[in-house]
Amino acid sequence: MSLSPPPRPDRTTGRPGAARRSARSDRPTLHFRPTRPYRSALRLPAALLLLAAPLACSGGGGAPQVAVPTPQGKAVDHCRELADRLPGTVDGQERRETEPVSALTAGWGDPAVELRCGVPRPEVLTPGSEHYNPTTDAVSVNGVDWMYEDLDDGARFTTTQRTAFVEVTVPDAYAPEVNALTDLAEAVAAAVPGTL
């Protein structure tokens, strides 16, 4: 005996099991539907339903956890000025609070594009370190140079040739990840002077 529901009519044709054809190809566009009726959720114990309600309303689990860097000297002033200049949106994503709250960190969207100002010099840019590589991957966006690192889920960019190191981590969800830098370059260029 099968527990799956009968096939539902397709929204475009009204026929059970029919698949909508894409305008660009002859292959059908698949529509995924739940395999169990919604009433099955009522069979859960009441305690589980009460625990699940706040999670369903949170939209992703609160503020992103971003480690606060500890810059020294003039870098502190530059990072505070950067905090005042940061845009309200990055790559179409709205700015949101980070945990812990700090002028040295910022986040946009969910999953969050994360910015940290005043991070230590990356090892690949530190002469004498085991991983030193002066020819590491880099990108220049609107006059700001960034070192590029590929991550398991996205990319990390760190400014180069600036008086403070600014790090931006962009999840795969916003690929191509470099697009986020176009919204941040103006603020970084204005707040964090170049070293040349």
User: Rounded mean pLDDT of 38-44?
Assistant: 33
pLDDT at 35: 33
Percent of the chain surpassing pLDDT 90: 65
What does the pLDDT look like over 110-131, one tens digit per residue?
999 999 999 999 999 999 999 9
User: Rounded mean pLDDT of 181-185?
Assistant: 97
pTM of the model: 0.68
CB 192, CB 166: distance < 8 Å: yes
User: Rounded mean pLDDT of 94-109?
Assistant: 96
Token reading at 25: 């190809």
Q: Is the pLDDT of residue 37 over 90?
A: no
pLDDT at 175: 95
Q: Quick one: pLDDT band at residue 12, thresholds 50, 70, 90?
A: very low
What is the pLDDT of the chain when averaged over all its residues? 78
**Higher pLDDT, residue 168 or 45:** 168
Percent of the chain surpassing pLDDT 70: 68
Q: Quick one: pLDDT band at residue 196, thresholds 50, 70, 90?
A: low
Stated as kind and residue range, the H or E segment containing 116 is strand 113-117
pLDDT at 61: 61
C-beta contacts of 101-104 below 8 A and 24+ residues apart: 102/66, 102/68, 103/79, 104/68, 104/69, 104/71, 104/79
What does the pLDDT look like over 25-36, one tens digit per residue?
444 333 333 333
Token reading at 129: 């370190």
